[in-house]
Structure 1
Amino acid sequence: MANFLFSNVDTVELAKKYKTPLYVVSEDIILERFNEIKKDFIEKHENTMAVYASKAFLTKEMARIVKREGLGMDVVSGGELYTAIKVDFPMEKIVFHGNNKTLDEIEMAVKYNVGRIVVDNFYELELLDKMASKYKKKVNILFRITPGVNSHTHKYIRTGQVDSKFGVPLNENIIYEAILKAINSNYIELKGFHFHIGSQLQESETHVKSIKVLTSLMKEIKDELGFITKELNTGGGYGIHYNGNESRKPLSYFTDAMMEELEKECRKYNLERPRVVIEPGRWVVGEAGITLYTIGSIKNIPNVRTYVGIDGGMPDNPRPSLYDAQYEALIANKVDEEITDIVTIAGKCCESGDILIWDLKTPHIEAGDILAVLSTGAYNYSMASNYNRIPRPAVVMISKGNDRLIVKRETYDDILRNEI
């Protein structure tokens, strides 16, 4: 009877060694993605940079890997920035996002000399100017722009449309005022612009449309305000395979199309092509992670369905409840057995909506079997909670056939440690 091997490691043995639920992350796959970024973007196109979007998955060990590989990192909170600080990540390679950064977060970013702060609104610009003045530091910023492009993805992960909580609208009165405020400040250095149009995107069309919008803006503000755009951050959002026909396209599918359009538009407008930054996150780690569970209760409702209970669910993977996300999975200790059943994988939370997978085709299942859910490397550990007072799982990283613990399993005492 064969067991499921993930990155050449026996997942059933991992479940025995570390218990379940268990996040498993392959450093081998992560390094494959980083090498593709270097080869097909950084080395292929001059004056470029790639930063890892850490909100997808961030631990101290992941930050160390990004640092070692020489890429930058995108953070969206004080906690993510603090993680980078604790591993001595080069601050000049940090890009700090967020639509409502707190005063404490802004102070941390200024104090630690973060490389780029992506400014979302006038309120933040004013706070940043005051904080930079306090520390007598020049702060490099980009303005986040909403290019007015609708992406084809779940409405909760679209970000580039006109009606968005993110970014400065492309209204002439608003954007011109923002640019003038920045360039007239003694403590702010406006480098250029940023856009991000959504996540889990399968086509490059909306990225290309956004490039057209931004180059038009670059031309306008050069003519009207004399401002030359030195940097354009194009975000990320490149999709991966979760199930069905969804696919992880090569990075070059997105980046080549964007760079070709940018070069063409810059020639048309007689603009110098700015430095281009990309921010892949899910594309790097999504398929590099799986989650292992132990099967418990099996409840057959005749002529309706069979519910199979696992020892995790919504707290370690809220995406099915949030986005109706769909996953592929298999029985790790029965990968060579005949598929005979259709079951629904139910989480252990006291919630009717805690269903991980509907109608999964499996061999005959028994209590104690190990379920492996695929493509859980992004937005699972990072979104995990203690709902129902369930401790968060451990995280194991595997590399070249070896495994190492990078996050300990939480205990009940960990859940209570801040309570009075």
Structure 2
Amino acid sequence: MRAHEAGALHAEGYGGPPQWLPHPTDVMELLEPLWAETVTRDDQGRLTVGGVDVVSLAQEFGTAAYVVDEQDFRTRARAFRDDFSAPFVPICGGADVYYAGKAFLCTAVAKWVLEEGLCLDVCTGGELAVAQRAGFPGERIALHGNNKSVAELRTALEYGVGRIVVDSFDEIDRIAALAAELGVRAPVMVRVTVGVEAHTHEFIATAHEDQKFGFSLVGGAADEAVDRIVAHADHLDLRGLHSHIGSQIFDVGGFEISARRLIALHVRIAERHGLHLPEMDLGGGYGIAYTSQHDPMTPADLGAQMADLVGREMRAAGDVPAPRISIEPGRAIVGPSTFTLYEVGTVKDVEVDRGSLRTYVSVDGGMSDNIRTALYDADYSCTLASRSSDAGPRLSRVVGRHCESGDIVVMDEFLPADIAPGDLIAVPGTGAYCRSLASQYNHTPRPPVIAVRDGRARVIVRRETMDDLLALDMGE
């Protein structure tokens, strides 16, 4: 792209589709990897999920709305529980899967996670409160966070969480003091910063040294954390080591380095302290398909490759017993299970490059219900959801209703040229970090979450109201 005196946006070639976005032969075709298991089109071209069409959903629940395919969620959970875990059976008896509460959590989802035999990862007192409300067993909960409050730690210990992932020297002393006060022995894991730069956005890469999480292997901080925990053995039960290298990851290369370094520390602990730690968490953050450029691995393939590299490293370690492995798939369970349903409000053609037009499609949501495009330059896809169309494809940008030029939902997508106000648009892959990161920007009520299964739709998180928006406003 050549420079232009008026700025990059005026340079030759600006305004065309990105290289990864193909020109469609059928603009109404659904790219299967992007959509939940039961999503299809009916004979009128309407998107359906769980046997319910989106026009009916919009009429009953309104838009914008998050729509969850419950069957898809459960299928993905079982795939990690069974297919991922199976290759680890000969090594350590299997693998435990921790669902990421931060991706999306509500009482109904916590119950699904429990019913499908997974564990739960929470990182705040609020997420823990949801787990408690759902009756989630404490021993199957992990508490994360780089700055857990005393109140949060106390609640976790009183509830009997199965692991607290320790993130700082201050926290070691804090947990030890609380455990002594409560007369319990707190189960802890050490979060290790393994020095791996995952191939992902810099804000979701979490294992390089210069960031806020964990104890670095460089300089011996991780070893010192272990020593301090062992010194508090009366009140702290060191369960194992934990690492998380990032999110939206599509290969196991970084995990191989991470596992090698974690296992080396695991062996050092056995040699120095005579402790054979029973657990090791390799993190996860596995990627999903947001657009045609993404090609995620299946849980079975991930499990096979991860088990192979763990097995190799444990054999090289000699006689040290293999710890029970656990992983945190992150967005990979809930992310693809959900799409966001919007109604089109305005359509505007804008000349962007010497006669080239881009169509701006404004919807009744935006950065308040999906901040990821603005926050991470995330790419999304979308489709016309409420009817069929024979019109040709037109490069479009789906934007929100907020008072920000950066309020973009889908940066680039081909939509039918006859897209019009009143049409419904569906954006797939919005189950993770969209409702969780949602805000009330511009005093906009947050959308509901609608679960659909076997022809039945129900609200699992209700839509906020204007009364909700004003409830905390004291008036003067």
| Residue of structure 2 in register with 1:356 after alignment | 409
Q: Residue 88 of structure 1 aligns to a residue in which SS?
A: coil
Q: What percent identity do the matched residue pairs reach? A: 38
2:345 is aligned, of 293, 296, 307, to: 296
| Residue of structure 2 in register with 1:402 after alignment | 456
Q: Distance in 2 between matches of 1:173 and 1:68?
A: 41
Q: Distance in 1 between matches of 2:113 and 2:413?
A: 35
Shift of residue 113, structure 1, vs aligned partner: 1.0
Is residue 77 from structure 1 mapped to residue 120 from structure 2 by the alignment?
A: no
In the alignment, is the contact (CA less than 8 A) between 1:4 and 1:335 conserved in 2? no
1:108-147 equivalent positions in 2, closer than 5 A: 108-147=155-194
Shift of residue 172, structure 1, vs aligned partner: 5.2
1:20 is aligned, of 39, 47, 63, to: 63
Is residue 196 from structure 1 mapped to residue 244 from structure 2 by the alignment?
A: yes
Deviation string, structure 1 residues 234-293 (Cα, Å, up to 9, x no partner): 112110100122023111322222221222221222221101111113100111000000
1:380-399 equivalent positions in 2, closer than 5 A: 380-399=434-453
In the alignment, is the contact (CA less than 8 A) between 1:339 and 1:361 conserved in 2? no
| Residue of structure 2 in register with 1:315 after alignment | 368
Q: Distance in 1 between matches of 2:284 and 2:263?
A: 18
Deviation string, structure 1 residues 385-420 (Cα, Å, up to 9, x no partner): 001000000110011222111111100110111221
Shift of residue 69, structure 1, vs aligned partner: 1.6
Shift of residue 191, structure 1, vs aligned partner: 0.9
2:430 is aligned, of 376, 396, 411, to: 376
1:106 is aligned, of 145, 153, 163, to: 153
- Structure 1 residues 135, 16: closer, same or farther in 2, change over 3 A? same
Q: Residue 161 of structure 1 aligns to a residue in which SS?
A: coil
Q: Distance in 2 between matches of 1:92 and 1:359?
A: 45
Q: Residue 101 of structure 1 aligns to a residue in which SS?
A: coil
Q: Residue 70 of structure 1 aligns to a residue in which SS?
A: coil
Is residue 97 from structure 1 mapped to residue 144 from structure 2 by the alignment?
A: yes
Q: Residue 381 of structure 1 aligns to a residue in which SS?
A: coil
In the alignment, is the contact (CA less than 8 A) between 1:231 and 1:274 conserved in 2? yes
- Structure 1 residues 335, 214: closer, same or farther in 2, change over 3 A? farther
1:222-233 equivalent positions in 2, closer than 5 A: 222-233=270-281
- Structure 1 residues 179, 340: closer, same or farther in 2, change over 3 A? closer
2:325 is aligned, of 260, 276, 285, to: 276
Query: Which has the larger Rg?
Result: 2
| Structure 2 gaps, min length 5 | 1-43
RMSD: 1.4
Deviates more, 1:261-270 or 1:199-208: 261-270
1:253 is aligned, of 288, 294, 301, to: 301
| Residue of structure 1 in register with 2:285 after alignment | 237
1:5 is aligned, of 45, 48, 53, to: 48
In the alignment, is the contact (CA less than 8 A) between 2:68 and 2:337 conserved in 1? yes
Q: Distance in 1 between matches of 2:304 and 2:315?
A: 17
Q: Residue 55 of structure 1 aligns to a residue in which SS?
A: coil
In the alignment, is the contact (CA less than 8 A) between 1:25 and 1:289 conserved in 2? yes
In the alignment, is the contact (CA less than 8 A) between 1:204 and 1:253 conserved in 2? no
In the alignment, is the contact (CA less than 8 A) between 2:247 and 2:330 conserved in 1? no
Shift of residue 308, structure 1, vs aligned partner: 1.5
In the alignment, is the contact (CA less than 8 A) between 1:158 and 1:198 conserved in 2? yes
Deviates more, 1:338-347 or 1:141-150: 338-347
| Residue of structure 2 in register with 1:331 after alignment | 384
In the alignment, is the contact (CA less than 8 A) between 1:309 and 1:348 conserved in 2? yes
Shift of residue 125, structure 1, vs aligned partner: 0.8
Give the residue type in structure 2 aligned to 1:306.
T
Give the residue type in structure 2 aligned to 1:77.
T
1:153-168 equivalent positions in 2, closer than 5 A: 153-168=200-215
Shift of residue 335, structure 1, vs aligned partner: 4.1
Q: Distance in 1 between matches of 2:371 and 2:167?
A: 27
Is residue 65 from structure 1 mapped to residue 112 from structure 2 by the alignment?
A: yes
Q: Distance in 1 between matches of 2:50 and 2:204?
A: 29
- TM-score w.r.t. the length of structure 2 is 0.86
- TM-score w.r.t. the length of structure 1 is 0.97
Shift of residue 51, structure 1, vs aligned partner: 1.4
| Structure 1 gaps, min length 5 | none
Shift of residue 228, structure 1, vs aligned partner: 2.0
Shift of residue 43, structure 1, vs aligned partner: 4.3
In the alignment, is the contact (CA less than 8 A) between 1:146 and 1:167 conserved in 2? yes
Deviates more, 1:254-263 or 1:407-416: 254-263
Q: Residue 327 of structure 1 aligns to a residue in which SS?
A: coil
| Residue of structure 2 in register with 1:30 after alignment | 73
Q: Residue 156 of structure 1 aligns to a residue in which SS?
A: helix
